[in-house]
């Protein structure tokens, strides 16, 4: 008896005991190298491949040392999920208690921060090490709904011997990741766990609905903070000559002056410039609840690539001076983009210039994502290019030792063109 690929571990009307026994035979066969009586769900198979590669022991007992109480309290205090605990409790705790389950909330690392529900099940969880502060990621305890939901960034239900570690086979768990609606960042997981015989496919919809309600509440709270920020924005912007914005810490715009309205800019960081496409470059100043972005003097904004410094670095001179260390690859990217000018380069062109082919698109996009975060919005996308408001000073490829050693075909072509 098998279950079609999907989130739910069982189907309505399934013989749960028979299915659990079949999964146990699958588990034993796969770990011993024998042919299993049925293939595991693809979700489970992917997870097992990951945890075996990480060296997880299927006979492992409790997870390694949980966090101390003060560290758990610190993580609770800074977690955005702390603000939606009432919604999650209202949706899940009483149901979990009635159904002999517990509700568990973790952070983005899989560390348990809150645990509520059936007292009897909590006692059983204590013996398993399923306690506040414990690490329930796949690398720590193998395949489980929490760790696998983090790894797959999707809802997961695990039943009986689908868990990699044998001591977890008497459990079922259903987990759903939670994302910050402001940034899309993964901030934690909500899980409902209990004895294996209590498994039910409806639990997937129940947990998913609770998470969607929590995310909606986070968004409403975000809008409330933006409204409060608008209350202080007007007098602040009235003193700004030219273009200016007041934004929150994630770059969501509360108010603007001297420029068209927009919803969001790059997340501000103190003393790091932000390029607003079609407008110019701004420098952030902290204000209560967010940042004031003042337009930088274009004539005074210069990006100098000091590539033979140790380490190589990018230096931005404006009303303040900011220095950012560069890897060799990031130095090469900036030289290529500086040479490309306003027309810029797409991921394929950068892949060809750095690697000699167009087959490294994923690597290029990952590198550009890291570089754009570091440079605070001075790099634009679609195509990738340096903001037109920025004057770039780059070394001659023939005179820079770093560029002379470069194996990137595009950099070597620049040096050849100079010759």
Q: What's the pLDDT tens digit per position in 3-39?
A: 556 789 898 889 999 999 999 999 999 999 999 999 9
Average of per-residue pLDDT values in the chain: 89
Average pLDDT over residues 108-114: 97
Q: Give the pLDDT score at 1.
A: 40
Q: What's the pLDDT tens digit per position in 294-306?
A: 886 654 578 899 9
Q: Which residues pair with 286 in a beta bridge?
A: 291
How many CB atoms are located within 10 Å of the residue 230 CB? 14
Residue 307: alpha-carbon gap to chain centroid: 31
What is the rounded CA–CA span in Å between residue 378 and residue 387? 6
Residue that is written with structure tokens 């924005």 in the block: 233
Whether 153 and 86 map to the same domain: the answer is yes
- Listed residue (75, 79, 105, 98) closest to 207, CA to CA: 105
Q: What percent of the chain has pLDDT over 70?
A: 95
Residue 211 sits in a domain whose CATH number is: 3.30.450.40
For residue 218, pLDDT beyond 70: yes
Q: Which of 76-80, 321-325, 401-405 has the lowest mean pLDDT?
A: 321-325
Residue that is written with structure tokens 């030289």 in the block: 335
In a domain, 215, yes or no: yes
Average pLDDT over residues 381-399: 86
Q: Which residue has the higher pLDDT, 191 or 417?
A: 191
Whether 32 and 180 map to the same domain: the answer is yes
Whether 171 and 197 map to the same domain: the answer is yes
For residue 383, pLDDT beyond 70: yes
> Cis link prior to 156 (omega < 30° from 0)?
no
Whether 325 and 388 map to the same domain: the answer is yes
Whether 275 and 191 map to the same domain: the answer is no
Average pLDDT over residues 332-337: 94
In a domain, 229, yes or no: no
Whether 167 and 309 map to the same domain: the answer is no
Whether 282 and 153 map to the same domain: the answer is no
Residue that is written with structure tokens 């639990």 in the block: 203
In a domain, 5, yes or no: no
Q: Give the pLDDT score at 283.
A: 85
In a domain, 282, yes or no: yes
For residue 318, pLDDT beyond 90: no
3-state SS, the chain, equals: CCCCCCCCCCCCCCCHHHHHHHHHHHHHHHHHCCCCCCCCCHHHHHHHHHHHHCCCCCCCCCCCCCCCHHHHHHHHHHCHHHHHHHHHHHHHHHHHHHCCCEEEEECCCCEEEEEEECHHHHHHHHHHCCCCCCECCHHHHCCCHHHHHHHHCCCEEEEHHHCCCHHHCCEEEEEEEEECCCCCCEEEEEEEEEEHHHCCCHHHHHHHHHHHHHHHHHHHHHHHHHHHHHHHHHHHHCCCCCCEEEECCCCEEEEEECCCCCCECCCCCCCCCEEECCCEEEEEEEECCEEEEEECCHHHCEEEEECCCCCCEEEEECCCEEEEECCHHHHHHHHHHHHHHHHCECHHHHHHHHHCCCCCHHHHHHHHHHHHHHCCCCEECCCEEECCCCEEECCCCCCCHHHHCCCCHHHHHHHHHHC
Whether 206 and 326 map to the same domain: the answer is no
Q: What's the pLDDT tens digit per position in 361-371?
A: 888 988 888 88
Contact 5, 195 (CB under 8 A): no
Whether 119 and 175 map to the same domain: the answer is yes
In a domain, 107, yes or no: yes
The boundaries of the domain holding residue 309 are 299-418
Whether 84 and 196 map to the same domain: the answer is yes
- Listed residue (175, 281, 287) closest to 237, CA to CA: 287
Q: Give the pLDDT score at 299.
A: 47
Sign of the C-alpha dihedral, residues 81, 86, 91, 97? Answer: positive
Contact 129, 61 (CB under 8 A): yes
For residue 173, pLDDT beyond 50: yes
Whether 23 and 85 map to the same domain: the answer is yes
Token digits for 361?
């698109």
pTM over 0.75: no
Token digits for 233?
């924005």
In a domain, 173, yes or no: yes
Residue 333 sits in a domain whose CATH number is: 1.10.10.10
In a domain, 6, yes or no: no
Whether 43 and 180 map to the same domain: the answer is yes
Per the structure, the count of domains in the chain is 3
In a domain, 2, yes or no: no
């Amino acid at each position: 008896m098998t279950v079609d690929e999907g989130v739910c571990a069982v189907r309505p009307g399934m013989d749960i005991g028979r299915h659990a026994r079949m999964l146990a035979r699958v588990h034993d066969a796969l770990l011993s190298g024998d042919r299993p009586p049925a293939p595991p769900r693809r979700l489970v198979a992917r997870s097992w491949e990951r945890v075996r590669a990480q060296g997880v022991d299927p006979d492992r007992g409790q997870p390694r040392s949980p966090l101390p109480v003060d560290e758990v309290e610190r993580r609770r205090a800074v977690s955005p999920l702390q603000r939606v605990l009432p919604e999650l409790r209202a949706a899940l705790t009483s149901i979990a208690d009635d159904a002999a389950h517990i509700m568990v909330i973790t952070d983005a690392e899989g560390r348990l921060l809150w645990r509520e529900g059936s007292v009897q099940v909590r006692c059983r969880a204590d013996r398993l090490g399923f306690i506040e502060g414990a690490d329930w990621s796949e690398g720590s305890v193998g395949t489980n709904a929490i760790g696998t939901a983090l790894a797959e960034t999707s809802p997961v239900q695990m039943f009986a011997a689908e868990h990699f570690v044998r001591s977890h086979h008497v459990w079922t768990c259903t987990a759903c990741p939670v994302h910050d609606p402001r940034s899309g960042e993964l901030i934690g997981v909500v899980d409902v766990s209990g004895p294996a015989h209590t498994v039910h496919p409806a639990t997937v919809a129940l947990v998913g609905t609770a998470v969607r309600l929590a995310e909606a509440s986070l968004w409403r709270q975000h809008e409330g903070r933006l409204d409060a920020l608008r209350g202080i924005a007007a007098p602040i912007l009235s003193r700004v000559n030219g273009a200016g914005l007041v934004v929150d810490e994630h770059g969501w715009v509360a108010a603007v002056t001297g420029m068209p309205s927009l919803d969001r800019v790059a997340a501000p960081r103190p003393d790091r410039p932000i390029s607003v496409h079609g407008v110019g470059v701004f420098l952030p100043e902290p204000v209560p609840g967010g940042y004031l972005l003042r337009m930088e003097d274009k004539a005074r904004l210069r990006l100098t690539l000091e590539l033979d410094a140790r380490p190589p670095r990018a230096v931005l001179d404006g009303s303040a001076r900011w220095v950012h260390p560069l890897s060799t690859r990031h130095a090469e990217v900036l030289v290529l983009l500086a040479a490309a000018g306003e027309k810029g380069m797409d991921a394929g062109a950068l892949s060809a210039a750095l690697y000699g082919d167009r087959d490294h698109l994923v690597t290029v996009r990952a590198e550009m994502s890291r570089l754009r975060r570091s440079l605070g919005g001075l790099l634009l996308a679609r195509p990738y290019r340096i903001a037109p408001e920025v004057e770039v000073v780059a070394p001659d490829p023939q005179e820079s030792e770093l560029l002379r050693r470069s194996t990137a075909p595009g950099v070597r072509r620049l040096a050849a063109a100079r010759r």
